[in-house]
Amino acid sequence: MSDTTGKLLVDAIRLSNNARPPVWFMRQAGRYHSHYRALRKEHSFERICRTPALACEAALGPIRDFDFDAAILFSDILFILEAMGMDLAFSDAGPKLGRLLENAAAVARLRTGDAVIEKLSFQAEAARLVRRQLPPEKTLIGFAGAPLTLFFFAAAGSHKGEAVKRAVGIAASGALEPFLAVVSELLLDVMKMQADAGADVFALFDSCAGDIPEIQYSAMVMPALKKLISRFKSERPDTNVIYYAKGLSKSLLEEAALCGADCIGIDDTHDLPSVLISQEGKVSIQGNFSPQQMLLPPGVLEPVLRAWLARTQKVPASARKGWVCGLGHGVLPGVPEENVRLFLRLQRAVLGTC
Ligand code: 1CP
């Protein structure tokens, strides 16, 4: 009897993929893609997210055009904050939260409970539509922001420049721990809602993991994350979890690898072959080609990509069974579609016989 599921991504996350490594990109449905830009000409970003048929179309576009092995739900990590009572607006300049968290007392005033989850039901509807139309061998990834990254946006509206200082200050004032507890309770329900609607895998994006002092990451962020993942896994044991952690040092990455997620997404500062070898048999690893290099002219990108693929091919096959091929972060808006096509073509040509 085969111990594989027929879905490359799920098999890799379960450390049992003997075929080609699966490939998908964070932000694969986004502004670099003419299909998405055409949808955006007609509708606002928010309308696409909140209208299940449009969100489904946005999620399936990159599958049809590039043949990624997984679709990701089309939505955003910030809708949960809006449902918790923080004003949210999306513009061409990016998302903007109207009211920011000031202190621990403000955490206690955030909306919680089933009413918050009901406001996010458009995500479940979209997931159901995508799963129905997606070929069975392709995986549907549901997602949310990890608790810490949601804290950064709630406290500072962003995780860039001065906002990092503001968020770190508010965290130190005692607001971080209660926020992590409140948001984790809601995230558990969001994860279950998306899994029940057809998400085969759930990704928690921690884009701000490296922005908090390491001591707080270990002492507060990790315990909250471990608790959330273990509760989810005990309630939905068939749905695997990806934890994407941006900006972690080597030692913190080793700690994060023990958070209970089945797969750890790494950024492009880490050496992929070393991480695959050190985590062999323990946890699946996702990543980590440089998003910046995807901006190179195709003729320059090709040898760079070939060299990167060749290096991972030197990793023993036993350590490659758990590799999910992708980028170290999201596809940038200016990436030529030709480069995405080149990535998928070379990935299949070089690794197809793994
Ligand atoms: O058309 C537009 O102008 C909207 C651009 C856009 C898109 C396409 C935003 C605004 N969000 C999204 C979709 C999105 N966001 C997806 C689904 C699409 C896909 O992956 O194919 C996902 C998974 C996200 C996740 C997300 N949103 C993260 C975590 C991953 C990461 O990029 O680090 C974060 C931090 C956000 C917040 C957000 N939403 C939008 C923007 C421009 C941002 C980033 C703001 C920032 O980083 O400061």
d(CA 125, CA 72): 14
pLDDT score of 354 more than 90: no
Percent of the chain with pLDDT over 90: 94
- Ligand 1, pocket-test mutation among 56, 76, 340, most atoms within 8 A of CB: 76
Q: What residues pair up with 70 in beta bridges, in sequence order?
A: 139
Of 23, 25, 27, the one to substitute when testing ligand 1's pocket (max ligand atoms within 8 A of C-beta) is 27
Residue 76, ligand 1, Cβ within 6 A: yes
> Alpha helices, DSSP H only, in the chain?
8-13, 34-42, 45-50, 52-66, 79-83, 104-108, 114-118, 121-133, 147-156, 162-170, 176-196, 214-216, 222-235, 250-256, 272-278, 298-313, 317-320, 337-351
Q: Please indicate whether residue 330, judged by its CB atom, sits closer than 6 Å to ligand 1.
A: yes
pLDDT band at 353 (very low <50, low <70, confident <90, very high): low
User: Residue whose CA is closest, atom 4 of ligand 1?
Assistant: 45
pLDDT of residue 20: 95
Q: How confident is the model at residue 1 (pLDDT cuts 50, 70, 90)?
A: very low
Percentage above 70 pLDDT, the chain: 99
Instruction: Check pLDDT > 50 for residue 132.
Output: yes
Average pLDDT over residues 125-153: 98
Q: What is the 3-state secondary structure (H, E, C) of 233-252?
A: HHHCCCCEEEEEECCCCHHH
Say how far apart CA 303 and CA 326 lie, in whole Å: 17
The pLDDT tens digits of the residues spanning 179-221 come to 999 999 999 999 999 999 999 999 999 999 999 999 999 999 9
Residue range 37-50: average pLDDT? Answer: 98
User: What is the rounded average pLDDT for all residues in the chain?
Assistant: 96
Residue 338 in this model has a pLDDT that exceeds 70? yes
pLDDT tens digits, one per residue of 67-80:
999 999 999 999 99
DSSP category for residue 16: -
Q: Round to whole Å and give the CA distance between 243 and 203.
A: 6
Residue 52 confidence (pLDDT) above 60: yes
> Would you kindly state where each structural domain of the chain is located, as residue ranges?
8-350
pLDDT at 292: 98
Topology, domain 8-350:
TIM Barrel (3.20.20)
Confidence at 92, pLDDT banded by 50, 70, 90: confident
- Are 71 and 134 a contacting pair, CB within 8 Å? yes
Pairwise CA distance, residues 256 & 238, whole Å: 21
Mean pLDDT of 324-340: 98
Structure tokens at 6: 């027929």
Q: Of all protein residues, whose CA lies closest to atom 11 belonging to ligand 1?
A: 76
Beta-carbon count within 10 A of 94 CB: 10
pLDDT of residue 161: 87
Q: Does residue 123 have its Cβ closer than 6 Å to ligand 1?
A: no
- Residue among 327, 259, 252, 254 nearest 291 (CA): 327
CA–CA dist 2, 146 (Å, integer):
34
**So what's the pLDDT on residue 352?**
85
So what's the pLDDT on residue 2?
58
Q: Which amino acid residue places its CA nearest to atom 9 of ligand 1?
A: 76
Tell me the CA–centroid distance for residue 76 and ligand 1, in Å: 6
Which H, E and C letters describe 18-86, residue by residue? CCCCCECCCCCCCCCCHHHHHHHHHCCHHHHHHCHHHHHHHHHHHHHHHCCCEEECCCCCCHHHHHCCC
Q: What is the arithmetic mean of pLDDT over 231-248?
A: 98
Residue 227: which of 162, 183, 193 has the closest Cα?
183
Amino acid (one-letter) located at 113: G
